[in-house]
Structure 1
């Protein structure tokens, strides 16, 4: 098995299998939240998350939106 690693919000995260953004969000139990995802500073549109495969060395930023007033 070939282990790959990404940076997830600035912290190392090991990938032991091919993952898409959608699969990563499911694994993190946050797929239901409203958020923005950037891969290597490129904002990926939500309709692309199921097809966008993560690669070794990718820098993934998950930006969660919080309401308030």
Structure 2
């Protein structure tokens, strides 16, 4: 499936939902935030958020500091 990941074309290998995509990317799920088409998706909804062709997904890593 082809999606846009941080404004770059990306083809998922096996991901069918947002949680699976985060796992596929080897990202620590407790240290990232995700938006789909500009809307933040709460972490507890990742497994229930299916991926669809052409989605625009932005992944942000948490940064400590102020």
How does the TM-score come out when normalised to structure 1? 0.82
Partner of 1:5: 2
Tell me the secondary structure at the aligned position of residue 48 of structure 2. coil
After TM superposition, the structure 1 = structure 2 runs for residues 42-57 of structure 1, keeping only pairs within 5 Å, are 42-57=39-54
Q: Whole-Å Cα distance in 1 between the matches of residues 38 and 51 of structure 2?
A: 14
Q: Which has the larger radius of gyration?
A: 1
Instruction: Return structure 1 stretches of 4+ with deviation > 2 angstroms.
Output: 15-18
When the two chains are superposed, the root-mean-square deviation of aligned CA atoms in Å is 1.6
Partner of 1:61: 58
Deviation of residue 18 (structure 1)?
A: 5.1
The alignment covers a number of residue pairs equal to 66
How does the TM-score come out when normalised to structure 2? 0.85
Gaps of 5+ in 2: none
Asked if structure 2 preserves the Cα contact closer than 8 Å seen for 1:22 and 1:50, the reply is yes
Which structure shows the bigger proportion of residues in helix conformation? 2
